[in-house]
Structures are given as structure tokens and as C-alpha cells.
Structure 1
């Protein structure tokens, strides 16, 4: 699939994938991408981890270029971090890399993404009662099973991504009181036949 190159989206390669494919690192990166700059101690409190663990994994993320210093936020000895990119692009070729460590990191990364997506949906389901009534009828958890070729499946995925992209330009300002961050998750995969 040829996707347009976005400077705010980082393409994962074998080296960077090995630096990211750890559950805590992925959670730290997501926290910085979605909630903005933070310190190791703030992230430790938010994620229920020790500040030593978050500090170590933040340094690893920085060494691989996923995060960077946010010096405009720091006061004194506090070290603030921010995400270096707002998105990640996964190359399926990593799953068939000749190096078994790369293949293992690719598997770890994809499984953690799937776990995070399931956790996000479960959290919404558990907390939906706390949202204003207008949000109660806007969410979706649907499924469709179609009989498609790999080519038609790829076309479907491309069209779904294109549709989502048309809403990026329409995204509302963070100051809009009626707006919230909305997570769109798609899953398209073949099912085994009996």
C-alpha cells in the first residue's frame, strides 16, 4: 500500500522497531502523543509504574528518536519529554525480516497495539455512562464478514483510510467544548474457513 509521506508520521524500520517493541515504551509514547509533554514522574504516576522504570524506558525511546526533550516546559531539574512524531507507520515486511529478533519485535509491537485498542474500547464501555447523552449514540462497535480477494480487501482498507483522512481537515479546535478526541479503530483480517 503506497501511503503519502507525512513528516509527522514515523515509518518503523528494524532498528527503531526493536527500540519501541516493549509494552511500557509503547504506553509511554502513546501518553506523550495523546496527552502532551510530561516528566518521568508524572508518567509513572499516570501509568502506575515506578519513576525508575519510566525514566529508563523514556531514555530508550529518546535514543531511538521517538521522543525528545521539551525544554520549554522544564523548571530546574525537571526533565520534560514530548513525542517527536504524532503517528507511526508499520511496514509488513518487518514480519518476514531475515532476523528473528526483528520478526519477534514486530509480533510484540502488533500484539501490543491490538491489546491497547481492546483496552481503549473496554474503557469506553465501562465509562460511557459518565459522558454527555449526545455521545451515547455516536459510538460504534460493529462487525461485517465479507467474502473478498486480497485485492478487494486492500481496496477496502485503502478506502476506509481515505475516508478517515477526509475528517482530519475538519478536526475541531481543542477549545471547542462539544468536541472530544475520537478514536477510530479498524481491523480487517481473514478468518479461517472450516
Structure 2
């Protein structure tokens, strides 16, 4: 078991203004790259993501204006500007889907569709490259699904228990055989046939 079971990530909950600033596919990819791979320059991110450095620079400035990224001067030498994520994660307020403002509802749609696309892309990448990983990592991966009969309250409780368990592993010290591991959770109600 982890040594620090109470470790919690620094998570920013989206409000309507922040959501509109983040809900762009390239901005979301830039933020994910900074969160997962650490500080980088616009040029480095452009090369990694197959974009122009002008586009990455513009969208990084937009992310900074909304408080999602900030300067990482401890990494910079000379004139290159380094960026880092301001938070470990982002929490989506489901109420934004029902917001009275059509721009906010549209941004919510873009945000959620991009999250689903990122998850699908990461899964496709794993399936296409799993044969390149050592056997112990193949055995340490998981593609599972479960069907449960729950109330909305029970589902909410289960989600929080899963998040707490995952976060309890967040501060474990790295070792020589440590790899970055991505967990995706999808909890979606499904109507059953009558």
C-alpha cells in the first residue's frame, strides 16, 4: 500500500469562464502534454504535437490568461520561454452542460468530446504498441468493464472511492522501473431493455 494515502492532487474546478478558455482541442493537448511530460517551450510542444510554434505560442498565452499554465523560469536559459501546468488536473462541473449560456454549453460539448477523443487515442496507442512493452507491463495493464445496478448516489460514492484510491498512489517515490501509468474511468448510466 502507498505510504501517503491522503495525497491529493492540485485540481482546478472549471467555471464557465475557465471552460471557454480551455475548450479548444490544441489547448487541451498542450495542457495535457505539460501535465504529463513536464515543462517545455512552445517550440518543443509544437514539434511533439505536430503543430506550428506560432499556434502553440498563441494557445499557451491563452491558457496562461485563464490560469492553466504559467512561466517555468527555472528551466529557461536565454530567450526561450518555458511553460508549466499550474494544476495537476481539471474537474468538470456537470452543471456547465445545462448552463443558460449557449457558448458555455458549446464549450462543454467541445471539452467532453476532446476528453473522449484523448482517451480513445491513448487506448489505440496502447493497443498498437503493447507488444513493445515487457511482459510484466503487459500483465500490469487492464481493459475491463463492469455492469452494476446502482443508484445515482451509490455511483457517486463509488467514483469518489476510486479517485481516492488512485490518488493514494500519487506521491509514491519513483524507482528505476517506474513508468507513467494512465487511468481512465468512464461511469455512464445505461438504459436496460424492458
**TM-score for the superposition, normalised by structure 2:** 0.90
Q: Could you tell me which runs of 5 or more consecutive residues in structure 1 were left unpaired when the two chains were aligned.
A: none
- Please tell me whether the aligned partners of residues 31 and 85 of structure 2 are also in contact (alpha carbons under 8 angstroms): yes
The whole-number CA distance in structure 2 between the counterparts of 1:54 and 1:162 is 34
- Which of 1 and 2 has higher RCO (CA within 8 Å, sep 6+)? 2
Q: Aligned runs of 1:177-192 on 2, under 5 Å? A: 177-192=176-191
Alpha-carbon RMSD: 1.6
Alignment partners' CA distance in 2, 1:89 and 1:126: 29
Superposed CA offset, 1:62-120 (max 9, x none): 11111111112222221111111111111111111111111111111111111111111
1:172 and 2:173 correspond: yes
Q: Tell me, yes or no, if the aligned pair for 2:9 and 2:89 is still in contact at 8 Å.
A: no
**Matches of 2:162 and 2:46 in 1, distance apart?**
36
Distance (Å, rounded) in 1 between the aligned partners of 2:170 and 2:48 = 28
Contact 1:10-1:87 at 8 Å conserved across structures? yes
Structure 2 gaps of 5+ residues are 1-5
Distance 2:176 2:161 in 1: 31
Using structure 1 for the length normalisation, give the TM-score: 0.90
Aligned residue pairs total: 187
Give me the whole-angstrom Cα distance separating, in 1, the residues matched to 2:192 and 2:107: 29
Task: Tell me the distance in 1 between the aligned counterparts of 2:166 and 2:78.
Answer: 42
Alpha-carbon distance in structure 2 between the residues aligned to 1:118 and 1:181: 18
